[in-house]
Structure 1
Amino acid sequence: MLHRGHQGTDGTGGGELTVPMAWLYAEYIADEVLRTGDLMPPTSFEFRAGRDALALTIFLSDTDGGLPGIRVVSQLDTWLSLTAYDQPWQDWVRERLAQVAAEAAERGGPAPDLELAEAAWRWLEETELLAPDLNAVPGGGPVTGEDDGPKVWTPAWQLGLPLGHLAIHLF
């Protein structure tokens, strides 16, 4: 017997598989939005960072457990506001993950959706990608090609978040 991840089981250990449907659906939506935007190759780490950041936004903004039944278009403004440049997205993610974990603990059942969301957040926080230095002073040195500008190691979420935000605009 399969259970949706957000419904849980009775904890009897009867060999039932709990399927993380809410997380898988959030990840699917994020993947489709990014592919539609065609901003990065789907095999790149930048794409993964964008997909994970957007999937976290989608998953954690679902406060009533209705994610698999949502209409994507009706949520675009919410996702845009959460991923906007001037928002403390990483603080919001930490707070929402803590809330979701507390709710899962109260239910006492397995939380595979939460486990996948936490794994995505750990990857986004702990992984650094080499990216153009957007804070570099213009004219600071000779640039011979478009990829030769100054680069810095940047947490994956700091690359993925604006990529996801832009992809939502293009969707």
Structure 2
Amino acid sequence: MRPEEYGTTGGDGLLVPMAWMYAEYVADGLLATGDLMDPATLEYRAGREALALTLFLSDGAVAGALPAARVEELRLLTAYGAAWRRWVRAGLEDRERAAAADGRPAPGLDLARAAWRWLEETELLAADLGAIGAPRRERPGREEEDGEVRVWTPAWQLGLPLGHLAIHLY
């Protein structure tokens, strides 16, 4: 396999999406360092995918430890859900246009699009964070045995705050 580069030596080897793989690796490391939840859960996957998308679309991470300026950039990017969602969509569109203009395949972009599709289309049953403090009778959703109200939430809405918290704990 060859890296995600094009040389003049030719060959039809498989392109390796190194930028995406590295973004996932760094995201996984950030979440594992925070020890926020079991890596086998869907919530953990949502956090990893949200962080990997953030890293990938912000031109990836640097090798080794993240510098303070980079950590602050990641905190700002993951701070607000609606703005992040628009930023991800715009970033994917920009990358798609650039790949089309270059006329080259973009394997990392394909994986980023797949991650974004999963984050948007997958819903997880989670605590209704929007109902905190609301009177009990006005809370939508399903009440669990412990009295907590749960609602179906897009995976990105759970993954983004988890990733943001992992960045703060870094």
Q: What interval of TM-score do these two structures reach, taking the shorter chain for normalisation?
A: 0.7 to 0.9
* 8 Å CA contact 1:127, 1:156 repeated in 2: yes
Please state if 1:104 is matched with 2:103.
Answer: no
How many residue pairs get matched?
Answer: 162
CA RMSD of aligned residues (A): 2.3
Q: Distance in 2 between matches of 1:139 and 1:87?
A: 25
Q: Distance in 1 between matches of 2:118 and 2:81?
A: 23
Please state if 1:113 is matched with 2:112.
Answer: no
Please state if 1:152 is matched with 2:151.
Answer: yes
Please state if 1:21 is matched with 2:18.
Answer: yes
* 8 Å CA contact 1:131, 1:153 repeated in 2: yes
Counterpart secondary structure, 2:153 = strand
Q: Choose from 56, 78, 86 the match for 1:91.
A: 86
Shifted more, 82-91 versus 46-55: the winner is 82-91
CA shift in 2, pair 1:41/1:98, >3 Å: same
CA shift in 2, pair 1:41/1:108, >3 Å: same
* 8 Å CA contact 2:26, 2:61 repeated in 1: no
Alpha-carbon deviation of 1:9?
6.6
The TM-score with structure 2 as length reference comes to 0.86
Q: Give, as a single letter, the amino acid of the residue that structure 2 aligns with 1:2.
A: R
Q: Distance in 2 between matches of 1:124 and 1:143?
A: 24
Q: Any unmatched runs of 5+ in structure 1?
A: none
* 8 Å CA contact 2:81, 2:157 repeated in 1: no
The TM-score with structure 1 as length reference comes to 0.85
Alpha-carbon deviation of 1:135?
2.1
State percent identity of aligned pairs.
Answer: 55
Please state if 1:30 is matched with 2:27.
Answer: yes
